Structure 1
Amino acid sequence: MEWTMTANAPGQACLMQGNEAIVRGAVEAGINFAASYPGSPSSQVLGMLGKIAGERNFYAEWSTNEVCALEACVGASLAGARALCIVKQNGLLCTADSLHCGAQHGVKGGLVIVTSDDPSAHSSTNEFDSRWQAESASVALLEPTTMQETKDIVPYAFELSERTGQMVIVRLTTRVCHGRGVVKLGALPEKPHPIQRVREWDRLVCVSYLHTPMLERLEALRSEFEHCEYNHYDGPERAKFLIVAGGTGRLYAQEALHRLGLTSRVGLLSLGTLWPLPEESILRYLERAETVLTLEEVDPFLENHLAALAGRNGLHLTFMGRSEGTLPKIGELDPDNVTAAIAAFAGVPLPEKKAASTQELPVREMTFCAGCPHRATFHILKRVLRQEKNPGVVVGDIGCYIMSGQFAGQYAFQAVNCMGSGINLAEALGQLTRYGLDQKVVTVCGDSTFFHTIMPGVVNAVYHKANMLLMVLDNSATAMTGFQPHPGTGLTAMGAPAEPMNIQRILEAMGCKVEVADPFDVAETEKTVRRLLQEDGMNVLIMRQPCATLTAKKQKKPVRVWVDQDVCLGEGCGCDKYCSRVWGCPGNTWDFKNGKAQIDPVTCVGCGVCAKFCPSGAIHVEGGEEA
């Protein structure tokens, strides 16, 4: 696939994923600088850019967090560079201060922010809608639908940014990031966009009097968007039924209109420029309509603005969509709910739907990967806390281990807010132990999250002498989003070696008492956790064990894990189906016929830690040798 990112083959048709289309569009735009912090559904974008950065002579980095990424892009813009910042919806919220200040002082070189929203929260804790951030900051917002548009809109966004002196947001959703379609390649520039010397009177300074130029840039954008090629209309000239769609809603609408036979009766206005809205163009269609259905993800952003636009112009229309209740207020659009909404909207019956199967699909519970060290960590933690006089409080954070608040981690923690917040929630609880809160306080974070936003919270907790235990789950990777490197791994996005930052030494420099344990060394780690919970002050335990998926790739000789059926106590081990239900590793299954535990040789990665937890000693581990 790297060939399609760097081949100068204009007119060549290629099958591309949406994330790949973003990369190709950035290369065609001649970018100089790219920065990101990994977050699904757009994690692959910077990963691919890093692989080709050397060949195409631009710089790419996995930044420590999204704030670092956006502010670095602003700095690159000061030198006239074309800079691309890639975040997900949560990451865009992280950048709010930088985003709003940057919108006030504007940019010099083109600065494009690609934000990937996650309707239905497939790989997120929420489905925040990034469009509100564009409106709040008064910056342009573009939303492509097809893979071709996704590739083409990136160079346009850079040109628009430079023409208006303002950053531009390109919003994608999961179905666009991970969908595939045919893309016709454009020409590649001979070299990246030329950078410029920073002149004495170049100014990117956020001060209050610059608010007026920001609003003037917004009006210039509105005028441009009135004639933008990414907005288009299909349907009868005077349609009393009008659909206004943004993003994937357009594709679902096209499919539904054909299925329902309504293409000659219903108008479809597709908007690729979502902020500022091209109001004059929209009004031309609203003035002819009687009823308007808005298709968008996730919030009623368009619906509310269209209703306000109609009201200001004295139009009495019926609006349908997310806010009014024709469509679900949460979750993704799909062909079924859009077809049902359009049928209700146009007053036609739904076509008969053939059932694929009368049998319900089994529910698949979210769980840790086979051999995940986090499973052992939370099993130990729960076991220790149950032995305390009062149940302890465990505060989570964002990463693979967020599943520890569910069955996968035996419902280990009581709270999780946003990335980097766990240390601060726990600090407050740790202070209350002086005022009658008779509970042990524990918080957890991953190694990548530690560098992302945990360190300021550690400073705060140490400074105020909070009574708590911080457990850093160091699995040597940003595992949740695809094993991207971070400052502790010793590698950059472009593949260059870097001196790995030592989490233990950083914490000790902050004044923490730090110990290191291996979650697979069950007996010793359990003793360590129990001891640290009894000690006052801010204590840190680094749970160091590499991600099992990475470790399994290094095995030269396979490990065999097996259950001695003669020794296995089955349901008599003291807990019904202990291996599969309590321990919960996908590699541990249950033979319902014989009422015994068994190992799935396909799923099992051979970590062997289950043998250390087995109450009867029936699980055995053989072999294993690292390459």
Structure 2
Amino acid sequence: MTTTSQAWHLDAPGRRCMMSGNEAAARGAVEAGVQVVASYPGSPSVQVLECLAAVAREREIYAEWSINEKVALEVAAAGSLAGLRALAVMKADGLNVALDFLTTLPLSGIRGGLVLIVSDDPGAHSSVKEEDTRYLAVPAHIPLLEPTTPADTRDMIAWAFELSEKCALPVMVRLVTRICHARGNVTLQPIHAGSQTPRFDPDPGYITAARFHGRAHERLDNLLPLYAAAPFNPYTGPADPELTIVAGGVSHCYALEAVERLAAGDRVGILRVGTLWPFPEAPVLAVLRRSRRVLFLEEIEPFIEEQTKLVAAEHAAELGPLEFLGRRTGQVPWVQKARGMGEMDPDIATRALAAALDIPFEQGATRSAEAQAALDDLPMPLRQPSFCAGCPHRAAYWAIKSALAMDGRQGFALGDIGCYALGVMPTGYQAIRTVHSMGSGVGLAAGFGKLRAMGLDQPVVAVIGDSTFYHSGIPPLLNAKTTGADYLCIVLDNGTTAMTGHQPHPGCGVDALGDPTSAMPIADLVRKLEIPLTVGDPYDVHGTVAAILELLQRGGLQVLLLQQPCALQALKGDKRRKVTVDPERCRGDACGCGRLCSRVFACPANTWDSAAGRAVIDEVVCAGCGVCAALCPEGAILVEPPQGDAHAAP
């Protein structure tokens, strides 16, 4: 078995590799002969396109980071309509952006296989919310599949392309965080290189019309025989189980683990539902006929539970009385009490099964008492999410918070999604007061900025990152321009899509393969909109405060572009400025600002020497930005120029 993921793209049938779910998804697409792939970076599935971009030249695949998810789906759909197999990848939030276009495709139909990977994030590990996208496949009238393991992901993605071509519909494959980032053994299958020459046949064309609604339903109905022959809805367990678990996705793995932990294999059957829509009635009916009690395990919402109950209601006379155990009946909690999230885990699954079978179970019982006690006694420091050391966003928020306070009119700042969403945290000085979706801060400000005539006398500031500006910030800013909205839009430009791993955006001048491309700087866009523009450096914190104050007093629609590279990219260089603390100048606890550098400014590089009672700089993580030196009231923090750069600014 190959243990490194570097071999996932080799044409070596039968070879076993250890892959993540994202790598397995990319492998399935390569094996199916994908020729076009487009995505907007979003965790947890951001690595799918990165994997495909890494082999794009070798495999003659067109791969792009699109400006947003709707455009990504449109680019992939163009490949499909030209007869190529195409893939679009996005997270749950991105499907909301692409949904308008997605719901038209089943009415027009497609040509080459078109697969849409959507990654949900149960537990909101890298998102601001949980969202169950399975429900969106229903009104979109598209097939929905859900794998359970990385190996299953490879199989299902490859099959999804075939399914799409047979039904002339895009096929949605739902991944979740625990699949995307999990690793497992995957056996490689032959790669079928995409060799189709693209050609669009305009006759009869692909037109969306309401009269084609019935045709979309017919295409879905035609899938059920294909589902019956597919290996993705297996039942395992006794022929006459005391209880049957119906599970989907990664919850199927938890069901297997729960049965094993409770040694209940002779009492419990398990049905895995992998083809979720149209709902596979035949295997579900077979389970209902053999079992009087059914337990549902899934995340985030009770989608399978609800669909199964509809099937049971339609066949009530045949099936007789049934007992359903799940989220709607209370046996499975809607959310984890500790986090308030709908993510499933092995302990939740085991507790639910143990209660249903009346088997005693105590969480953690598989560990020894001594080991559990040692874990309970282990001191774990509480750490809030924080900006990286030297992050220009920290300096920007310090300036925004300070300027609004100095302005004195109770102004407020609005934000949205990205690294800069940490502005809601104490470590971001709670500088922004709203976080909803990408670009929403600029859109909300366009609304607030029209309330002057009604008596709103508070200054309004919108904060948006550079990648988000391209994604969804331009339309609301243009709206504000045409309506005459009064607010200050601050664009935090760190030159990359930092939150998801430094993918390029239209301002970077490179594409997904790293090749040079035509860049469209934000400053040029704003100037072409004829909106007043000020460009600043967030590390010049005093200058930024002054600029914000001036723009707030000036009023009207203004854009302040704060430019400084992402600190993580700066750390890769060898010209970081060295920052030190002069212990003679540092007043320690006597500092009138209450340890401004380490406690208030709270950069991770600004630490505290408790023995000496003085501040100290952690040189390992310090990015050398020098903001703390500008803020220190005693001038105790010193910034040296990097080696070979005697003219560097202090």
TM-score range, shorter chain: over 0.9
Check the 8 A contact 2:5/2:19 in 1, yes or no. Answer: no
**Which residue does 2:307 correspond to in 1?**
305
Give the partner amino acid of 2:359.
V
**Which residue does 2:620 correspond to in 1?**
602
Correspondence for 2:602 among 566, 584, 591: 584
Check the 8 A contact 1:51/1:495 in 2, yes or no. Answer: no
**Which residue does 1:616 correspond to in 2?**
634
Give the match's secondary structure for 1:562: strand
Q: Percent identity?
A: 45
Check the 8 A contact 1:392/1:439 in 2, yes or no. Answer: yes
Give the match's secondary structure for 2:488: strand
Check the 8 A contact 1:385/1:391 in 2, yes or no. Answer: yes
**Which residue does 1:164 correspond to in 2?**
167
Check the 8 A contact 1:53/1:59 in 2, yes or no. Answer: yes
**Which residue does 1:223 correspond to in 2?**
225
**2:454 matched to 1:454?**
no
- How far did residue 136 of structure 1 move? 1.7
- How far did residue 390 of structure 1 move? 2.3
**Which residue does 1:37 correspond to in 2?**
40
- How far did residue 39 of structure 1 move? 0.1
Question: In the aligned structure 2, how far is the partner of 1:403 from the partner of 1:58?
Answer: 37
**Which residue does 2:215 correspond to in 1?**
213
Give the match's secondary structure for 2:642: strand
Question: In the aligned structure 1, how far is the partner of 2:332 from the partner of 2:594?
Answer: 43
- How far did residue 3 of structure 1 move? 4.7
**Which residue does 2:588 correspond to in 1?**
570
**Which residue does 2:547 correspond to in 1?**
528
Correspondence for 2:427 among 400, 408, 432: 408
Question: In the aligned structure 1, how far is the partner of 2:552 from the partner of 2:545?
Answer: 11
**2:319 matched to 1:319?**
no
Give the partner amino acid of 1:58.
I
**Which residue does 1:288 correspond to in 2?**
290
**Which residue does 2:536 correspond to in 1?**
517
TM-score, length-scaled by structure 2: 0.94
Give the partner amino acid of 2:270.
L
- How far did residue 368 of structure 1 move? 0.6
**Which residue does 1:539 correspond to in 2?**
558
**Structure 1 residues 498 and 371 mapped into 2: Cα distance closer, same or farther (>3 Å)?**
same
Give the partner amino acid of 1:271.
V
**Which residue does 2:91 correspond to in 1?**
88
Question: In the aligned structure 2, how far is the partner of 1:528 from the partner of 1:205?
Answer: 51
- How far did residue 570 of structure 1 move? 1.9
Question: In the aligned structure 2, how far is the partner of 1:179 from the partner of 1:357?
Answer: 24
Give the partner amino acid of 2:553.
Q
Check the 8 A contact 2:233/2:283 in 1, yes or no. Answer: no
- How far did residue 193 of structure 1 move? 4.2
Check the 8 A contact 1:232/1:269 in 2, yes or no. Answer: yes
**2:81 matched to 1:78?**
yes
**Structure 1 residues 625 and 63 mapped into 2: Cα distance closer, same or farther (>3 Å)?**
farther
Worse-matched range after superposition: 165-174 or 282-291: 282-291
Question: In the aligned structure 2, how far is the partner of 1:448 from the partner of 1:573?
Answer: 39
**Which residue does 2:524 correspond to in 1?**
505
The count of residues paired between Structure 1 and Structure 2 equals: 625
Question: In the aligned structure 1, how far is the partner of 2:522 from the partner of 2:135?
Answer: 36
- How far did residue 572 of structure 1 move? 2.4
Question: In the aligned structure 2, how far is the partner of 1:389 from the partner of 1:199?
Answer: 63
**2:355 matched to 1:344?**
yes
Correspondence for 1:152 among 146, 151, 155: 155
Give the match's secondary structure for 2:397: helix
**Which residue does 1:364 correspond to in 2?**
383
Correspondence for 2:266 among 264, 267, 279: 264
Give the partner amino acid of 1:284.
A
- How far did residue 45 of structure 1 move? 1.1
TM-score, length-scaled by structure 1: 0.97
The unaligned stretches of length 5 or more in structure 2 are 336-340, 646-650
- How far did residue 358 of structure 1 move? 1.8
- How far did residue 165 of structure 1 move? 0.5
- How far did residue 625 of structure 1 move? 5.1
**Which residue does 1:129 correspond to in 2?**
132
Deviation digits for residues 410-447 of structure 1 (CA, Å, limit 9, x no counterpart): 11111122111111101111111232111110001111
Give the match's secondary structure for 1:216: helix
Give the match's secondary structure for 1:153: helix
Worse-matched range after superposition: 585-594 or 102-111: 585-594
- How far did residue 2 of structure 1 move? 7.4
Question: In the aligned structure 2, how far is the partner of 1:579 from the partner of 1:341?
Answer: 49
Question: In the aligned structure 2, how far is the partner of 1:391 from the partner of 1:320?
Answer: 52
Within a 5 Å distance, the mapping from 1:370-409 to structure 2 comes to 370-409=389-428
Q: Compute the RMSD of aligned alpha carbons.
A: 1.6
Question: In the aligned structure 1, how far is the partner of 2:312 from the partner of 2:509?
Answer: 56
Question: In the aligned structure 2, how far is the partner of 1:297 from the partner of 1:193?
Answer: 39
Question: In the aligned structure 2, how far is the partner of 1:344 from the partner of 1:603?
Answer: 49
**Structure 1 residues 6 and 527 mapped into 2: Cα distance closer, same or farther (>3 Å)?**
same
Within a 5 Å distance, the mapping from 1:436-451 to structure 2 comes to 436-451=455-470
Check the 8 A contact 2:22/2:180 in 1, yes or no. Answer: yes
Give the match's secondary structure for 1:175: helix
Deviation digits for residues 92-117 of structure 1 (CA, Å, limit 9, x no counterpart): 11111111011222211100000111
- How far did residue 609 of structure 1 move? 1.7
- How far did residue 289 of structure 1 move? 1.8
**Which residue does 2:648 correspond to in 1?**
none
Give the partner amino acid of 2:358.
G
Check the 8 A contact 2:5/2:17 in 1, yes or no. Answer: no
Question: In the aligned structure 1, how far is the partner of 2:165 from the partner of 2:204?
Answer: 15
Give the partner amino acid of 2:545.
E
**Structure 1 residues 200 and 71 mapped into 2: Cα distance closer, same or farther (>3 Å)?**
closer
**Which residue does 2:345 correspond to in 1?**
334
**Which residue does 2:119 correspond to in 1?**
116
Check the 8 A contact 2:33/2:191 in 1, yes or no. Answer: yes
Check the 8 A contact 1:397/1:416 in 2, yes or no. Answer: yes
Give the match's secondary structure for 1:85: strand
Give the partner amino acid of 1:603.
V
Check the 8 A contact 1:21/1:151 in 2, yes or no. Answer: yes
Question: In the aligned structure 2, how far is the partner of 1:169 from the partner of 1:85?
Answer: 10
- How far did residue 65 of structure 1 move? 0.3
Give the partner amino acid of 2:323.
T
Give the match's secondary structure for 1:297: coil
- How far did residue 18 of structure 1 move? 0.8
Give the partner amino acid of 2:350.
T
Correspondence for 1:238 among 237, 240, 243: 240
The unaligned stretches of length 5 or more in structure 1 are none
Deviation digits for residues 509-546 of structure 1 (CA, Å, limit 9, x no counterpart): 11200010001112222111110011121100000001
**2:424 matched to 1:421?**
no
Question: In the aligned structure 2, how far is the partner of 1:10 from the partner of 1:519?
Answer: 53
